[in-house]
Structure formats: C-alpha cells, structure tokens
C-alpha cells in the first residue's frame, strides 16, 4: 500500500493541491464572515453552487464547437471566473441583506443567525432543485449531475517530466487560487475598506468610534467571500466537469473544515488549511483507497484540533495581521 503511495506521490500531490486550492477559496468566505460577524455562514455552500450554475450558463451561451487550448482557454476560464464571481458575490450580498441583516439590526442572538443560515441554505438548494434547474435546462425534476459541454472538460497535458505530468486544468486551478489570495491579501492590508474589515474583526465597537460603517464592511465581507466562492466554482467546473443543486453540500463542509483546520478567522489559515486538507485527502485515498478519503481527512482534523485547538496557524483575524 505504501509502494503505491511512492509511485503515486507526484500525481497525488498535484491532485491534492488543485483540490485544496478550491477548498481554500471557498474557505475564505467562511473565515472572513466568521472573523467579522462571528457567524458560520452555512449558506455559503449554496453561494458556491450558484457560482457553478453561473459558469455553466455562460458556457452554454458561448456554445463551444471544439476543444480550446492555450490563450483561448485562459480567456475562457477568466471569463467564467468573472461571471461566476460577480453572480456569487451579488448573491452573497443579497443573502446577507435578507437572512442576516434584519436579525443583526434587532440584536438577535448568534444562534438565531445560525438557524437563519441553515434555512437559507435549504431554501436555495430547493429553489434550484425544484424551480430553476427544471426551468433552465428543460428537464423534469432534476436528480443527477447536469451535462457540461464536453469540449470544455477535455483537458490537455501541459508538461511532463518523466512520470510527472501537469494537466492544464489542475495548473489553472492552483494558479487561479494563488492569484486570488494575493489580491485579497493586498486588498485587506492596503485599502481603506480592507483596514475597516480588519478593524471590525478585531474590535467592532471601537471600529465604529473610528468612523467605520459596519454595514458597509459586512456587505464588503460577504461580497469578497462570494467572489472567491464564484471563482472557485468556475475552477471546479473545469476541474471536475459537473454540477447539481447539491454540489455545495459536501464541498462546503470540507471548505469549512479547511477553515477550522487552518485557524478560523485567519485568511492565511484558509489557504494553509485548504491545501493541507486537499493533500491529506489525496494521499489518504492512495494509501487506504479512495473510499477512505473523507475518513482520513476528518481523522486528521480531529487529531490537529486535539493538539492545536485553534488550528494550524492558531491566531485568528483578531490577532493576526490579516
């Protein structure tokens, strides 16, 4: 079983990093909202799901006639990422406006907001399953995965060194995630609104005394988390080539796990946690078989939290320099 692991080491490392990059992007949404509002936004998985459908709709509208490669593929992926990012970002802002803001205004408890999050999550899933998908794709009640234009998912081997092969889609996913992380880091540390987000995460009451408009900070936080989830959704569609109304559920739980693993509330923790989780899953599935993938991942989570309850990077957004 370990001979297998050595044989498969490089391919599973690449697989793990590209899977982990998607977890990391989605984890950012959980961790930022938690940092600012101390709320686990359980409907974030549906924001991701909405992103996959936005990307799919764009693909269908373009209607590829042949596989694309090179610059054209880069352009296509960028376009999908932009559309999915905007749609997911707007959905996240709308979600906050409808499901959380009224509760916050009335000073409701965090548990009430949590229930509201679960409700919003179920509502969005069922809205897609029963109304939007049948209407949109002209299908009866949707059960299985939706068809993705096949030309999009036909992949090209970019470069190979011996057994070490990098496929274009996996490379794009990793690069895309890194670019988004750098952009976010710059935004949070260099812009005025970014400083407002950090201040609110560290001490909301004092932030108001500095003239920070909390409502705007909260909207911006949901917007950014949503955009990240939308980009992740476009990359996911390219990497795995399928979506359905349920696509966010397990991925959302994994991304939330990644956020906790890295240290919730900590932006860099989301990256570390996501990549770690992706690698563990892939290595675990090579060693123990793919059926054990999730068991290995969550066992590691439990172990890490036993010894480092605050996650790998420990300190949260309050303490960390974002």
Binding site for another protein (CB under 8 A): 192, 195-196, 198-199, 202-203, 205-214, 317-322
Residue number, 8 or 213, with CB nearest to another protein: 213
CB of 194 to another protein, least distance (A): 11
For residue 33 the two structure tokens come to 């909202």
Residue number, 162 or 211, with CB nearest to another protein: 211
Assess contact for 221 and 207: CB atoms under 8 A. Answer: no
CB of 270 to another protein, least distance (A): 16
Alpha carbon distance 266, 311 (integer Å): 10
The DSSP code sequence of 48-60 is HHHHHHHHHHHHH
Residue number, 155 or 213, with CB nearest to another protein: 213
Q: Provide the 10 A C-beta neighbour count for residue 130.
A: 13
Alpha carbon distance 224, 25 (integer Å): 10
CB of 101 to another protein, least distance (A): 14
Residue number, 158 or 214, with CB nearest to another protein: 214
For residue 246, which of 166, 167, 129 has the smallest C-alpha distance? 129
For residue 199 the two structure tokens come to 């201040």
Residue number, 79 or 214, with CB nearest to another protein: 214
User: How many CA within 13 A on the CB side of residue 257?
Assistant: 26
CB of 317 to another protein, least distance (A): 8
> Which residue, chain included where needed, has tokens 């946690």?
273
Residue number, 13 or 213, with CB nearest to another protein: 213
Alpha carbon distance 92, 121 (integer Å): 12
- Please, what is the angle between helix 110-126 and helix 44-62, to 10°? 30
CB of 1 to another protein, least distance (A): 44
CB of 276 to another protein, least distance (A): 23
Alpha carbon distance 49, 127 (integer Å): 12
Residue number, 132 or 195, with CB nearest to another protein: 195
- Please, what is the angle between helix 214-240 and helix 44-62, to 10°? 50
Alpha carbon distance 144, 147 (integer Å): 9
CB of 34 to another protein, least distance (A): 15
Q: Provide the 10 A C-beta neighbour count for residue 286.
A: 22
CB of 166 to another protein, least distance (A): 37
Residue number, 47 or 267, with CB nearest to another protein: 267
């Amino acid at each position: 079983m370990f001979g297998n692991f050595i044989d498969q080491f490089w391919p599973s490392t690449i697989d793990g990093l590209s899977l982990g990059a998607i977890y990391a992007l989605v984890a950012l949404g959980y961790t930022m909202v938690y940092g600012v509002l101390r709320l686990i936004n359980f409907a974030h998985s549906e924001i991701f799901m909405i992103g996959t459908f936005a990307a799919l709709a764009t693909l269908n509208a373009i209607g590829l006639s042949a596989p694309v490669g090179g610059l054209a593929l880069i352009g296509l992926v960028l376009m999908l990422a932009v559309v999915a990012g905007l749609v997911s970002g707007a959905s996240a802002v709308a979600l906050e406006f409808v499901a959380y803001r009224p509760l916050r205004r009335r000073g409701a408890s965090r548990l009430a907001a949590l229930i509201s999050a679960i409700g919003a999550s179920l509502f969005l899933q069922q809205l897609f399953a029963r109304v939007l998908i049948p209407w949109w794709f002209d299908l009866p009640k949707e059960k299985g995965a939706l068809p993705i234009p096949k030309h999009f998912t036909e992949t090209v081997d970019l470069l190979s060194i011996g057994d070490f092969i990098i496929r274009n889609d996996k490379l794009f996913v990793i690069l895309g995630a890194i670019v988004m992380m750098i952009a976010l880091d710059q935004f949070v540390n260099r812009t005025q609104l970014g400083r407002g987000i950090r201040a609110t995460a560290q001490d909301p009451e004092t932030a108001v005394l500095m003239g920070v408009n909390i409502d705007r900070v909260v909207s911006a936080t949901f917007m950014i988390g949503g955009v990240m989830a939308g980009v992740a959704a476009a990359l996911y569609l390219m990497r795995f080539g399928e979506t359905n109304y349920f696509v966010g559920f397990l991925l959302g739980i994994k991304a939330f796990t990644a956020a906790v693993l890295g240290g919730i509330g900590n932006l860099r923790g989301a990256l570390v946690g996501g990549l770690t989780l992706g690698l563990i899953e892939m290595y675990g599935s090579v060693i123990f078989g793919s059926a054990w993938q999730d068991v290995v991942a969550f066992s590691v989570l439990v172990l890490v939290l036993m010894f480092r309850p605050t996650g790998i990077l420990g300190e949260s957004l309050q303490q960390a320099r974002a």
